[in-house]
Amino acid sequence: MKNNIALIGMMGSGKTTVAEELHKLLPDYALVDIDKEIEKGSGRKIPELFLKFGEAHFRALESEKIKKFADNKEQIIALGGGAFENDNNRRILLKNCTVIYLKASAQEIYNRIKNEFHRPLLRKNFSVERIDEIMKKREVNYKKADITITTDGKTPKEAAAEITGVIR
């Protein structure tokens, strides 16, 4: 296993909640949520960053945090849904982390996040079809992960247990 565990996947696939459960099973690992680190560093919430400064600015902040944290050891890193789209982020993460793609169907993601209106990419045209469209675009990179875990119909605790079973 590499130095860290990085969780990637679409919004609503369970990255943050699975990371929290995984941290309970691997308490020696630090828990890092890249979106929370961006908010802490900028003093602004993610939707505000998108709205005020645009996606490119947000992605630059995201890359900065990934570079900072991926070089450390024994961390569980939860990433934003689009973080793995960036070639440099992907290279750094694959080099320093066991990258785990949390895969969920578009319908499952829709059901999980349909009442979460803070998600910047879904403010307009929020539908199962829109989620599927984003997923299809990102799938080519998500598939480059070291491990894929399907989260449909699983609790975060079950997904975390499956991860520990695969990485040990």
What's the pLDDT at 150?
A: 96
To the question of pTM greater than 0.75 for the whole model, the response is yes
Residue 84 in 3-state DSSP?
Answer: helix
Rounded-to-integer distance, Cα 130 and Cα 118, Å: 16
pLDDT score of 14 more than 80: yes
pLDDT score of 17 more than 90: yes
Helices (H) and strands (E) in the chain, counts: 8, 5
pLDDT in tens, 92-150: 999 999 999 999 999 999 888 877 665 555 556 678 998 999 999 999 999 999 999 99
Domains of the chain (ranges; CATH) run: 4-167 (3.40.50.300)
CA angle 102, 105, 111 (to 5 degrees): 105
pLDDT score of 2 more than 90: no
Is residue 151 exposed (0-12), middle (13-18) or buried (19+ Cβ within 10 Å)? buried
Q: What is the mean pLDDT of residues 9-20?
A: 95
* Higher-pLDDT residue of 121, 31: 31
